[in-house]
Amino acid sequence: MDEGARPAVAVHGGAGALPAQGPAAAGMESARLEGVRRAAAVARDVLRSGGSALDAVVSSVALLEDDPAFNAGTGAVLTAAGEAELDASVMDGRSLAAGAVAAVKDVKNPVLLARAVMERSGHVLLAAEGASRFAREAGLPPYPNARLVTEFQRARFEAAPQKLPPLGGGGTVGAVARDARGHLAAATSTGGTFLKRPGRVGDTPLVGCGTYADDRLAAVSATGDGERIIRVTLARVAADLVGAGRPAPQAALEAVRLLAERVGGTAGVIVMPPRGEPGLAHNAPAMARAWVVGDGEICTGI
């Protein structure tokens, strides 16, 4: 169904393994579904009030960063050193402006810092201590790393049989949106992979890999196997497929299939085209997701 260029949003909460069986797993699944539903609702409300696609995706991802059910912001997985290191990026499809941060340890909402990098720094990507110093200049207060670490993630770290190499199972959160003026935007945020080496940077803050937005193509947010996503520039591949005439659902499926065929990767993507319905696809066992077009009902799935 072609929904035209009406405002729309799609959100993901990370692609990865299905939760283990039992009451705790059921509770985690419910929490993630509710989390992406609320994130989609926040973005929809921004668009309904006349806000931009950029405002919508940043608001949506910031909410997910504050939700401990997801691997971003509060609740992020821990590095081999037992700390949270956060990556995030945003991109505006109207101007192709982008901002990103990597390996940040003292910011509550890295997506807000990524937007500040885009709008105020003169750069696209800042990392580690340099990103932290810029956060203070941008008015984002220091946030203790210990407050980003949940009891669940600390227990998981303490129970790990070894601290290297990384065990994977990272996940990411992201949002794509189209506003009433037809402009697109994307935002993505992550804590990376569990037990990653300190300083590791995945696909999330790399433009064209984990995040991409171009009004002439599509807005894309990716999640999954970061090292392999980087090698095929997955987000740009999906956007280019839309630009070549594929409907967004088909473009999402083809991009994920290419990742598997070329480098054996598992991932998920959400794709927002200039017109029509969004596309959502993954080849991991699960990806929490939510989407809504215009004044329709919010749909969810995992």
* 120, 144, 174, 205, 301 from 91: Cα distances, Å: 14, 27, 12, 10, 25
CB 124 within 8 A of CB 118: yes
Per DSSP, the three-state class of 86 is strand
- Residue 60's Cβ-count burial label (10 Å; 0-12, 13-18, 19+) is buried
| Element at 78 (helix H, strand E) | none
CB within 8 A of 300, min separation 6: which ones? 33, 36, 37, 40, 288, 289, 290
CB 255 within 8 A of CB 241: yes
CA distance 269 to 12: 8
Marked catalytic residue, from 172, 188, 193, 204: 172
150 is catalytic: no
Amino acid at 279: G
- Residue 24's Cβ-count burial label (10 Å; 0-12, 13-18, 19+) is exposed
**Could you identify the residue written with the tokens 């480098």?**
263
CA distance 134 to 139: 9
CA distance 151 to 144: 15
Q: Give the number of other Cβ atoms within 10 Å of residue 95's Cβ.
A: 13
Query: Would you please indicate which residues are annotated as catalytic (active-site) residues?
Result: 172
